[in-house]
Structure 1
């Protein structure tokens, strides 16, 4: 057989038993936390009509990220979702438009993108998250951030940190300055995002230079932001950040980078990124936003579950008990109810140890192999 016929496309991979088990455990733990906080799970379809999906995504994103093909039934173009959040927005604006607000929804499902980045080459992700529809207040943001931290902890992550940003920072500061045109504001935003002091001066943003240094550990960075904000344009955001940090307490390390916009281009006043020990890159993101198409306020977070599972602590291995032919079914059922895994013999010359078993059932009792 030609082995090249078994190759998978770039950015896609099989998840073998150990990896799949870690992901499944993390998924269950995260969904249990969301359920406990009142987030009801919904399951949008993997495919949608491209026009429907694109209408709730930023302009051009569906074309750049989503696989598309013609539906042989309707003869209309379908899109394979690259992000579940726009679908949650559609559900909130249509099927659940009359549901009481705030509306709490949870989700978990696969997504795929046409092209991934060099830093993160995966083109398929298992995305899990919670959305609080109808509010983007400090109280809503506090709930979302603390719930996101709790889900990460429940999944077995440690050393969790939260990095806050203010996506509309430049727009808020530039609004009172009639001398700044849209092109200059965009240039200032770009140079701040790249942390280029020289470039910032060159585009007329010298007054914004202190923002490059209002970063780092939360308390110090927030004080630097307060010192910069002499006119009080950021007062409500600063106090909002302080209130959210107070809710987090010592459950996570907190940092602040108010000018970071990469990945937060469509968030409103708040964005945050989650990190954890043992995980390369971010484990999730969140923030406040407006639902595409309806413009309803919302706050939410997304976890990259397959990446998150890489850093989760390994659980204690369950006993794996071999059940020989003629074993007691009631005794085997009792073992499973107690958390053991069982492997039933189905043929001659089986090797229990080679099958990964640690014990064997003899009568109604187990014995180590």
Structure 2
């Protein structure tokens, strides 16, 4: 080790993205953004840092514990480094683009950073790419978000996918309809998170009718069509029944668009979906357990100020996406010796080569090509394989 080796050390959860992975991520982001554009989504670019009250207002409040804060030396106001781009796009929609016709379709791509990583996702900085559909509250919009996420992931190179649909507000709606106390609902939520039917009964302290209903909600988890049938058969309070009917309509629309897409249902899942207000979803690769995308319905803007719009959207987690996708073929590298006219690079690049130009004379072009990790060397006007 030399005296500078320690400068390569980075904080936990942060890392350099090196060749060829950095280029691969950039290409994947471009492919996803292009798929969004093909469906009418226009790209926006919010700043990396903004004032705390706008970044952490509305749905952003759920991410306050994950936000790095700093003082702006110019305005002397507190700022936050974005932990998520959804809330920034929502801010743009209800401020800068508030007069644009609805529904408003926006896309984005960039890096976010969080205070802590998780057990399954220790990275604290990662790329997010996604869309927001703002200003409409309909099952068709919910289904569009699901189908567009699947379309983009397939375009990037993850062919075998499964979608898990959720209703994170359903438990609260049922609890409100049954007039359950807040403490009971809190204990119930913990029991449902553990998927333990016995704990559900204990949390409801002998309320057999309510326990049977929540156990029924748990048992609706599984393949979507069977789960919807079980869900609609339950005697839910009116508001909860409306949510279940909306979910059933989304399943029907997704199935009509893609009859072979595996779709599952977990109507009591809540963790990680705290600011969602309706139908939500996660997308996984069939061959892995890592979440590739997450999205769903939320209130865009600042409900605390009376400024909000219905919205739905999703985020692709590019580190997970790249881990689940097939790497594209590497572009062959052609070494072009020093002194070769610049114009000669173009025809070889048109044939698919990355041209690596020599910038100093060399005695053996083949040896120099190997040293520069090229698979070919330009010798007497020909690309000679090494």
TM-score clears 0.5: yes
Instruction: Tell me: CA distance 1:329–1:4, structure 2 relative to 1, closer, same or farther (3 Å).
Output: closer
How far 1:348 moved relative to its partner? Answer: 3.4
Partner residue of 1:355 out of 368, 372, 381: 372
Instruction: Tell me: CA distance 1:280–1:95, structure 2 relative to 1, closer, same or farther (3 Å).
Output: same
CA distance in 2, matches of 1:312, 1:176: 44
Aligned equivalent of 2:211: 206
How far 1:38 moved relative to its partner? Answer: 0.9
CA distance in 1, matches of 2:357, 2:379: 13
TM-score normalised by the chain length of structure 1:
0.93
Instruction: Tell me: CA distance 1:2–1:231, structure 2 relative to 1, closer, same or farther (3 Å).
Output: closer
| Cα RMSD, aligned residues only | 2.1
Please identify, of 99-108 and 245-254, the stretch whose mean Cα deviation from structure 2 is larger.
245-254
Contact 2:63 2:83 in 1 (8 A): no
**Larger helix proportion, structure 1 or 2?**
2
How far 1:175 moved relative to its partner? Answer: 3.8
CA distance in 2, matches of 1:154, 1:29: 7
CA distance in 1, matches of 2:260, 2:328: 21
Aligned equivalent of 2:291: 282
Aligned equivalent of 1:306: 319
Aligned equivalent of 2:252: 243
Instruction: Tell me: CA distance 1:317–1:6, structure 2 relative to 1, closer, same or farther (3 Å).
Output: closer
How far 1:113 moved relative to its partner? Answer: 0.6
Aligned equivalent of 2:32: 30
Instruction: Tell me: CA distance 1:356–1:366, structure 2 relative to 1, closer, same or farther (3 Å).
Output: same
Contact 1:160 1:252 in 2 (8 A): yes
How far 1:328 moved relative to its partner? Answer: 4.1
Aligned equivalent of 1:151: 152
- Equivalent position SS for 1:357: coil
CA distance in 2, matches of 1:237, 1:145: 14
Please identify, of 325-334 and 47-56, the stretch whose mean Cα deviation from structure 2 is larger.
325-334
Gaps of 5+ in 2: 205-209
Please identify, of 224-233 and 4-13, the stretch whose mean Cα deviation from structure 2 is larger.
224-233
CA distance in 1, matches of 2:62, 2:211: 32
How far 1:170 moved relative to its partner? Answer: 1.6
Contact 2:279 2:296 in 1 (8 A): yes
Residues paired across the two proteins, number: 367
Partner residue of 1:345 out of 351, 358, 380: 358
How far 1:335 moved relative to its partner? Answer: 2.1
Partner residue of 2:221 out of 215, 221, 231: 215
CA distance in 1, matches of 2:314, 2:378: 46
Aligned equivalent of 1:78: 79
CA distance in 1, matches of 2:384, 2:259: 45
CA distance in 2, matches of 1:253, 1:356: 43
- For the pair 1:116 / 2:117, whether they are aligned, the reply is yes
How far 1:37 moved relative to its partner? Answer: 1.0
Aligned equivalent of 2:106: 105
- Equivalent position SS for 2:295: strand
TM-score normalised by the chain length of structure 2:
0.89
Contact 2:293 2:317 in 1 (8 A): yes
Aligned equivalent of 1:21: 23
Aligned equivalent of 1:296: 309
Aligned equivalent of 2:207: none
